[in-house]
Amino acid sequence: MQSILYTGPNLALKLQYDSTKVEKLIGYASNFNFSVNTGLKNIYTVDSPLIAEIALGASPMAVTGSITVYLPKGTDPMRAGLVPPVVERGNSGEVALARSRAAHWRIYDRATQELVFGIDFCKVSSFSMSIQAKGVVQVQIQFTGTTPLYGQS
């Protein structure tokens, strides 16, 4: 009997920036967790403990979560385009914080190539790396985006 459970990273993370229409493979992923705030807000009336209305769009909508990405050999989060370099040096040698760019994230199933989930205008809020001798580079990423895109898988 064949198992329907997969092991290892069975997701592929691709990024697309607005200036290009090409999706770039960043790495393979696992441990994908996300939460969607739909923008609902409870509206109450004076002197009533009961909700009078649940208004859509009255509160900010956001997608937040975390993902573990296994990077290909010879790359890092900066080269892959996930995060900006920590500092930039200008022509006169001054040091300034780099600005991050929002990207459209797409997470695909590696076996079927079907879209699992997408996030528009997504940015990395924090990340940590795990590098082991003769091992795979892992990047644990916490992200925030604006709009969820639900796939078929």
Residue 24 lies in a domain: yes
Residue 1 lies in a domain: no
Residue 135 lies in a domain: yes
53 burial level (CB within 10 Å; 0-12, 13-18, 19+): exposed
Residue 143 lies in a domain: yes
Residue from 26, 137, 122 nearest 65 by CA: 122
Q: What does the alpha-carbon distance between residue 26 and residue 79 come to, in Å, rounded to a whole number?
A: 10
Q: What does the alpha-carbon distance between residue 152 and residue 46 come to, in Å, rounded to a whole number?
A: 44
- 61's tokens: 């909508």
Provide, rounded to the nearest whole percent, the portion of the chain with pLDDT above 90. Answer: 31
CATH of the domain at 36: 2.30.110
Neighbours of 10 (CB within 10 A): 17
Do 103 and 118 meet the contact criterion of CB atoms below 8 Å apart?
no
Average pLDDT of the chain, as a whole number: 83
Neighbours of 77 (CB within 10 A): 20
| pTM recorded for the entire structure | 0.76
CA angle 36, 11, 1 (to 5 degrees): 115
* Chain segment 40-90, per-residue pLDDT in tens: 888 999 999 999 998 887 778 899 999 999 988 878 888 777 777 666 666
Identify which has the larger pLDDT, 88 or 32.
32
What is the model's pLDDT at position 108? 92
Residue 90 lies in a domain: yes
